[in-house]
Amino acid sequence: MADKPLILWFDEIHYGDIPLVGGKNASLGEMYSKLTSKGINVPYGFAVTAEAYKYFIQQNHLDEKIKEALKGLDTHDVHDLQKRGKQVRNLILHAKMPPKLAEEIVAAYERLAQKYGKDPDVAVRSSATAEDLPDASFAGQQETYLNVRGAKEVLKYVQHCFASLFTDRAISYREDKGFDHFSVYLSVAVQKMVRSDRASSGVMFTLDTESGFKDVVYITGSWGLGEYVVQGKVNPDEFYVFKPTLKMGYKPILSKKLGSKDVKLIYGKSSRQPLREVKTTKEERNSFVLSDEEILKLAEWAIIIEEHYGRPMDIEWAKDGDGREVGTGELFIVQARPETVHAVKDQKFYEIYKLKGQGRVLCTGKAVGSKIGQGRARVILDVSGISEFQPGEVLITTMTDPDWEPIMKKASAIVTDKGGRTCHAAIVSRELGIPCIVGTEIATKVAKTGMEVTVDCTQGEEGRLLEGLIPFEVERIDLEKMPQTKTKIMMNVGIPEQAFAQGQIPNDGVGLARLEFIIGSHIGIHPLALINFEELKQKASTNKKIARLVREIEAKTSTYKNKADFFVDKLAQGVATIAAAFYPKDVIVRLSDFKSNEYANLLGGYLYEPEEHNPMIGWRGASRYYDPKFEPAFALECKALAKVRNEMGLTNVKVMIPFCRTPEEGKKVIEIMEKYGLKRGENGLEIYVMCEIPSNVVLAEEFAKIFDGFSIG
Q: Is the pLDDT of residue 369 over 80?
A: yes
Question: Measuring CA to CA, which residue among 409, 363, 374, 373 is closest to residue 389?
Answer: 409
Question: In the predicted model, what is the mean pLDDT of residues 648-660?
Answer: 97
Q: Which helix (H) or strand (E) holds 96?
A: none
Residue 203's CATH number: 3.30.470.20
CA distance 163 to 124: 13
CA distance 279 to 291: 22
Q: Is the pLDDT of residue 132 over 50?
A: no
Q: Are residues 458 and 533 part of one domain?
A: no
Query: What is the rounded average pLDDT for all residues in the chain?
Result: 93
**Residue with the larger pLDDT of the pair 73 and 131:** 73
* pLDDT band, residue 134 (cuts 50/70/90): very low
Helix (H, G, I), strand (E, B) or coil at 255: strand
Handedness of CA 397, 401, 403, 406 (dihedral sign): positive
In a domain, 168, yes or no: yes
Strands 510-514 and 587-590 come out as parallel
Q: Which helix (H) or strand (E) holds 219?
A: strand 216-223
CA distance 205 to 77: 35
* pLDDT band, residue 475 (cuts 50/70/90): very high
Q: Are residues 205 and 156 part of one domain?
A: no
Which residues lie across from 126 on neighbouring strands?
188
In sequence order, what are the residues at sequence separation of 6 or more whose Cβ sits closer than 8 angstroms to the Cβ of residue 302?
Answer: 204, 206, 217, 219, 313, 315
Residue 406's CATH number: 3.50.30.10
Cis amide linkage into residue 584, ω under 30° from 0: yes
> Would you list the DSSP string of 497-538?
HHHHHHTTSS-S-EEEEESHHIIIIII-B-HHHHHTHHHHHH
Q: How would you label 156-180 residue by residue, b for 16+ Cβ within 10 Å and e otherwise? A: bbbbbbbbbbbbbbbbbbbbeeebe
In sequence order, what are the residues at sequence separation of 6 or more whose Cβ sits closer than 8 angstroms to the Cβ of residue 304?
Answer: 35, 38, 39, 40
CA distance 188 to 272: 21
Q: Are residues 676 and 564 part of one domain?
A: yes
* pLDDT band, residue 183 (cuts 50/70/90): confident
Q: Are residues 474 and 504 part of one domain?
A: no
- How many C-beta neighbours within 10 Å does residue 16 have? 10
Q: Is the pLDDT of residue 341 over 90?
A: no
Handedness of CA 637, 643, 645, 646 (dihedral sign): positive
CA distance 459 to 457: 6
In a domain, 1, yes or no: no
In this predicted structure, what is the pLDDT of residue 347?
Answer: 67
Q: Is the pLDDT of residue 176 over 80?
A: no
* Identity of residue 524: G
The total domain count for the chain is 4
Q: Are residues 354 and 339 part of one domain?
A: no
Cα distances (Å, whole numbers) of residue 51 to 156, 179, 532, 553: 18, 19, 68, 60
* pLDDT band, residue 344 (cuts 50/70/90): low
Q: Is the pLDDT of residue 175 over 50?
A: yes
What would the pLDDT profile of 197-249 be if each residue is shown by its tens digit? 999 999 999 999 988 999 999 999 999 999 999 888 999 999 999 999 999 99
Domain span holding position 174: 7-192
What would the pLDDT profile of 388-424 be if each residue is shown by its tens digit? 999 999 999 999 987 888 899 899 999 999 999 989 8
In a domain, 270, yes or no: yes
Q: What percent of the chain has pLDDT over 70?
A: 97
In a domain, 483, yes or no: no
* Identity of residue 424: H
Question: Measuring CA to CA, which residue among 223, 244, 214, 412 is closest to residue 311?
Answer: 214
Which residues lie across from 203 on neighbouring strands?
220, 316
Residue 679's CATH number: 3.20.20.60
What would the pLDDT profile of 254-278 be if each residue is shown by its tens digit? 999 999 999 999 999 887 889 999 9
Q: Are residues 581 and 531 part of one domain?
A: yes
Question: In the predicted model, what is the mean pLDDT of residues 123-148?
Answer: 73
In a domain, 138, yes or no: yes
In this predicted structure, what is the pLDDT of residue 1?
Answer: 45
Helix (H, G, I), strand (E, B) or coil at 386: helix
- How many C-beta neighbours within 10 Å does residue 115 have? 9
Q: Which helix (H) or strand (E) holds 111?
A: helix 99-116
In a domain, 574, yes or no: yes
Q: Given 139, 166, 192, which residue is the final one in a domain? A: 192
Q: What percent of the chain has pLDDT over 90?
A: 79
Distance of CA 164 to the CA centre of its chain: 28
Q: Are 178 and 287 in contact (CB under 8 A)?
A: no
In a domain, 148, yes or no: yes
Q: Are residues 649 and 611 part of one domain?
A: yes
Handedness of CA 609, 611, 617, 623 (dihedral sign): negative
In a domain, 2, yes or no: no
Q: Are residues 391 and 272 part of one domain?
A: no
Strands 394-397 and 413-416 come out as parallel
CA distance 124 to 32: 17
Q: Are residues 627 and 509 part of one domain?
A: yes
Handedness of CA 51, 53, 59, 63 (dihedral sign): negative
Q: Given 478, 506, 532, which residue is the final one in a domain? A: 478
In this predicted structure, what is the pLDDT of residue 343?
Answer: 62
- How many C-beta neighbours within 10 Å does residue 249 have? 7
Q: Are residues 470 and 575 part of one domain?
A: no
Q: Which helix (H) or strand (E) holds 628?
A: none
Q: Is the pLDDT of residue 342 over 80?
A: no
In this predicted structure, what is the pLDDT of residue 422?
Answer: 86
Q: Given 309, 344, 379, which residue is the final one in a domain? A: 344
Q: Are 125 and 149 in contact (CB under 8 A)?
A: no
Q: Are residues 92 and 231 part of one domain?
A: no
* pLDDT band, residue 660 (cuts 50/70/90): very high
Q: Is the pLDDT of residue 299 over 90?
A: yes
Helix and strand counts by DSSP (H, E) for the chain:
26, 28
**Residue with the larger pLDDT of the pair 284 and 231:** 284
| Cβ burial, residue 330 (10 Å; 0-12/13-18/19+) | middle
Q: Are residues 520 and 428 part of one domain?
A: no
What would the pLDDT profile of 555-589 be if each residue is shown by its tens digit? 999 989 999 999 999 999 999 999 999 999 999 99
Distance of CA 295 to the CA centre of its chain: 13
Residue 69's CATH number: 3.30.1490.20
CA distance 240 to 243: 10
In this predicted structure, what is the pLDDT of residue 215?
Answer: 98
With the CA atoms of 616, 618, 620 and 626 taken in that order, what torsion angle do they form, in degrees rounded to the nearest 10?
170
In this predicted structure, what is the pLDDT of residue 203?
Answer: 96
Roughly how many angstroms between the first and final C-alpha of the chain, as a whole number? 76
In this predicted structure, what is the pLDDT of residue 140?
Answer: 55
Q: Is the pLDDT of residue 292 over 90?
A: yes
This prediction's pTM? 0.88
